[in-house]
Amino acid sequence: MRQLGVIGGTGIHELAGLAGTASHSPDTPFGAPSAPLQEGLFGDCRVFFLQRHGSPAVVPPHLVNYRANLWALKSLGVTDVVAINAVGGIASSMQPGVLVIPDQVIDYTWGRAHTFDDGSDGQLRHIDFTEPYHRELRLALAAAADCAAISCQTSAVHGVTQGPRLETAAEIRRLAADGCDVVGMTGMPEAALARELELAYASVCMVVNPAAGLGDEPISLAVMGEILQREAGVVGLLLRTLVAQRYSA
């Protein structure tokens, strides 16, 4: 039986409509997750929700305990993970307000604990990461968006930078040359860790600003917040539709 977990990013501090919540703080070999995991009914289905950046504390992208977060979800029986990410738009089609289900990722992060494999058992483990996002779950999200009449880009390269600072205009030109369509700070090592744990993992990216050097105005946190607030409702509708189509008994 498939069990859905949702990881909320910037602007998604709770899963609106999650009813009868119970809180879990499972122990993991990697320390505590970012926040207690909330369990409740989303429609008529049980769903788990985790705020990646903590609640009420705010954990910056480079200090998120990605290993503990994924391990905690797995320990509670989660099989499928939909991760919500706020991103900047690089490609001309990725304007603020656009919703994106990426199919590829390029990792520019450094210094993060990026694997569960410490070699202690004397074996090397290589995961196939040709397709970093779970194809079936991506297609299910795309079908849910179509059913709910939500405009959504279903193919994009997600570039993941270290943060917490935003990128320079030159860095964005480099990412564009590398083929990145959007840029964020939290997509890796989360996706790879999910693959190591054999979790079906897909991302829903909310474009909240033009990337550095691509907009007419300086990047404004206030404007980003307004778009996040608006798009959070759209993401909620997408998730409700996904749950009804894929997880309802």
Domains defined along the chain, listed by start: 4-115+126-247 (3.40.50.1580)
**pLDDT for the residue numbered 85:** 95
pLDDT in tens, 12-64: 778 888 888 899 999 999 999 999 999 999 888 999 999 999 977 789 999 99
Please state, in angstroms and rounded to a whole number, the distance separating the CA atoms of residues 191 and 40: 24
What's the burial of 148, exposed, middle or buried (CB within 10 Å: 0-12/13-18/19+)?
middle
Mean pLDDT over the full length of the chain: 92
Mean pLDDT of 116-125: 78
The 3-state secondary structure of 144-178 reads HHHHCCCCCECCCEEEECCCCCCCCHHHHHHHHHH
pLDDT in tens, 150-197: 999 999 999 999 999 999 999 999 999 999 999 999 999 999 999 999
pLDDT in tens, 184-240: 999 999 999 999 999 999 999 999 999 999 987 777 677 777 888 888 889 999 999
**pLDDT for the residue numbered 205:** 96
Higher pLDDT, 116 or 182: 182
The set of residues, in sequence order, having a beta carbon less than 8 Å from that of 106 and lying 6+ positions away, is: 157, 158, 159, 160, 175, 178, 179, 180
Please state, in angstroms and rounded to a whole number, the distance separating the CA atoms of residues 25 and 143: 33
**pLDDT for the residue numbered 226:** 81
**pLDDT for the residue numbered 47:** 94
- Within 10 angstroms of residue 56's Cβ, the number of other Cβ atoms is 7
**pLDDT for the residue numbered 12:** 77
pTM tops 0.75, yes or no: yes
Q: Which two tokens stand for residue 102?
A: 């990426």
Residue 203's DSSP bridge partners are: 83
Maximal C-alpha separation, the chain:
54
- Please provide residue 65's backbone torsions phi and psi, each rounded to the nearest 5 degrees: -85, 75
Amino acid identity of residue 35, one-letter, is A
- Lookup result for tokens 């905690």: 72
Amino acid identity of residue 119, one-letter, is G
Q: Which two tokens stand for residue 150?
A: 């939500």
Per the CB < 8 A criterion, the answer to whether 209 and 87 are in contact is no
pLDDT in tens, 73-110: 999 999 999 999 999 999 999 999 999 999 999 999 99
The set of residues, in sequence order, having a beta carbon less than 8 Å from that of 36 and lying 6+ positions away, is: 23, 24, 25, 55
Question: Band of the pLDDT at 249, cuts 50, 70, 90?
Answer: low
Please state, in angstroms and rounded to a whole number, the distance separating the CA atoms of residues 127 and 246: 26
